[in-house]
Structure 1
């Protein structure tokens, strides 16, 4: 889904994050109306990989 949405704006880059650890560390997430989970900031320590 992320790739498909990103392709609307060119060549997408997908960043895989450790959302479970973020949640355990107290980072809050909000669910948007179109079912996308959002947060204010993702620290680089939570990045698991980048898919180009």
Structure 2
């Protein structure tokens, strides 16, 4: 069984999780799903989308 990690509060959370950043994260999620559904390898997909 894998461990579950929970991150605590960070002083920059309001900046990192603002509405603008949530929109960016949501778009990245959609792009990852699109690529994975077309049989791209997960490691390559996450690196590609994460580096943008």
Same fold by TM-score, threshold 0.5 exceeded? no
TM tier, smaller: 0.3 to 0.5
Higher relative contact order, structure no. (Cα contacts within 8 Å, ≥ 6 residues apart): 1
More helix by share: 2
- What is the TM-score with the length of structure 1 in the denominator? 0.33
Q: Which structure has the larger Rg?
A: 2
What is the TM-score when the length of structure 2 is the normalising length?
0.33
